[in-house]
Structure 1
């Protein structure tokens, strides 16, 4: 049996998802930046009008409101997507960070599946 998943989001090579309100708090920057989407390999965030350069590397935390979801991530900007969006990869994740990212993406996928099933049942 051949199983394939078509996705327009192939650039990162992993399932991308988003969580409303998810942001990154970059060490040394006053305000968090909104995360457009993320995967187990990287993320895209809104620069909020600030200039970032490709190749810059930062320590950052995923935050949801006042709560830190995942801390101590090292991110590297790999491209300026345009319209204020910056594409990043994670650098040297430790085992705990990898597992937390995997779990976070998996939880979002589960919720998406549940919502689709509920929507299908209500149609």
Structure 2
């Protein structure tokens, strides 16, 4: 799809293909999610201010269901009590949309994804600088 067509789709609010997220996603190494009622945590495939994708092959996830999630980076809890509505179950992953967020949870998720975007942009800039030399 051309850049202009993508831009027009964004401006008109149209979604491209199967893309359903409305916010920029980031992959954060070592970010894990502990699901309520589950003894182990799962790795986070990617996250945005509005949703999350988890690496999981669990069979009990069904679209429309909800779960509570606590996010950890290593052993440190970052945020607790995120309510996630399951929107898709794929081969090896589960995608969900955050619902019923408190203002603090929403602010945290926006900050988390923004900081990771900044880190990635700086990393890319450094790599381009090294390549130019």
- Pick one of 81, 86, 108 that aligns with 1:100: 108
Return structure 1 stretches of 4+ with deviation > 4 angstroms.
6-9
In structure 1, the gaps of 5 or more residues are none
- Higher Rg of the two aligned structures: 2
| Distance in 2 of aligned mates of 1:91 and 1:107 | 22
- When the two chains are superposed, the root-mean-square deviation of aligned CA atoms in Å is 2.0
**C-alpha distance 45-72 of structure 1, shift in aligned 2 (>3 A):** same
**Map of 1:41 onto structure 2:** 50
Task: Indicate the residue corresponding to 2:124 in structure 1.
Answer: 116
Aligned pairs for 1:1-123 within 5 A = 4=7, 10-47=19-56, 49-51=57-59, 52-80=61-89, 82-123=90-131
Compare the two structures and name the one with the higher helix fraction: 2
Which structure 2 segments of 5+ residues have no match?
Answer: 11-15
Alpha-carbon distance in structure 2 between the residues aligned to 1:108 and 1:65: 16
How many residue pairs get aligned? The number is 118
